[in-house]
């Protein structure tokens, strides 16, 4: 009887822990393979197995991203310095520089992402592909700031992915430097 009681108790607590992961805001945390990206680097080797950085925080491909470009419920946030943004950017995107937490050159803030989320927008963060961690870092930081994961997406392949993987890429990007990504 005691064994049955212990099993029931264990099942109850494990169910509560799983439920709490989804009920409490961002209770599950960042997936282990992504924990180091948000610390002190904004560039490095390509992320070998891109995926969702946290439960509900989605990694999206260029083929999905292009569907959101003119959708007023989405905002693309380019996290690169303004010089790279001006060279080639996703149409309709906003530029808020972000590298790593605490960097004095960051212009992306908790207040900015909260403003977009409060307006009902889903943010899609991007930079210069899988060797650039700026977009990933901004997505993770927004998640850590308490934004709902379903309001955050990460376009890991960034501008180069849209240029390389879409036939009529000029429809989705603008800038004199876009052809360099072909």
Asked whether residue 16 falls in the same domain as residue 84, the answer is no
Give pLDDT, residue 12: 34
24 and 84 share one domain:
no
Residues listed for the chain: 182
Which residues are registered as beta bridge partners of 95? 78
> Do 19 and 46 belong together in one domain?
no
109 versus 35: which is more confidently predicted? 109
Per-residue pLDDT tens digits for 119-146: 999 999 999 876 788 898 899 899 989 9
Instruction: Retrieve residue 66's tokens.
Output: 């292009």
> What's the token pair of residue 13?
């607590």
First to last CA, the chain: 68
CB 63 within 8 A of CB 41: no
Alpha carbons 64 and 76: distance in angstroms, whole number: 13
Check which CATH number belongs to the domain holding 161 and give it. 3.40.250.10
Euclidean distance between CA atoms 69 and 71, whole angstroms: 6
- Do 86 and 165 reside in the same domain of the chain? yes
Give me the pLDDT at residue 40, please. Answer: 54
Residue 22 binned pLDDT confidence (cut-offs 50, 70, 90): very low
Domain count, the chain: 2
DSSP helix/strand/coil, 16: helix
Is the pLDDT at 115 greater than 70? The verdict is: yes
pLDDT computed for residue 56 by the predictor: 78
Is the same domain home to 92 and 21? no
Domain carrying residue 111: 31-181
Would the pLDDT of 77 be above 60?
yes
- pLDDT tens-digit readout, 150-174: 999 999 999 999 999 988 999 999 9
Token duo for residue 14: 């494990």
């Amino acid at each position: 009887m005691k064994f049955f009681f212990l099993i029931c108790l264990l099942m109850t607590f494990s169910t509560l822990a799983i439920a709490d992961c989804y009920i409490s805001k961002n209770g599950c945390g960042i997936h282990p393979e992504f924990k180091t990206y948000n610390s002190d680097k904004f560039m490095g080797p390509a992320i070998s197995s891109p995926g969702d950085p946290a439960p509900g925080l989605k990694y999206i491909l260029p083929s999905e991203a292009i569907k959101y470009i003119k959708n007023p419920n989405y905002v693309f946030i380019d996290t690169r310095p303004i010089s790279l943004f001006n060279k080639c950017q996703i149409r309709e995107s906003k530029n808020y520089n972000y590298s790593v937490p605490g960097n004095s050159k960051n212009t992306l803030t908790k207040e900015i992402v909260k403003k977009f989320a409060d307006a009902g927008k889903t943010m899609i963060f991007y930079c210069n592909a899988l060797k650039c961690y700026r977009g990933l870092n901004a997505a993770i930081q927004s998640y850590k700031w308490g934004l709902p994961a379903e309001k955050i997406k990460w376009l890991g392949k960034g501008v180069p992915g849209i240029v390389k993987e879409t036939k009529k890429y000029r429809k989705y990007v603008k800038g004199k430097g876009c052809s360099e990504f072909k």
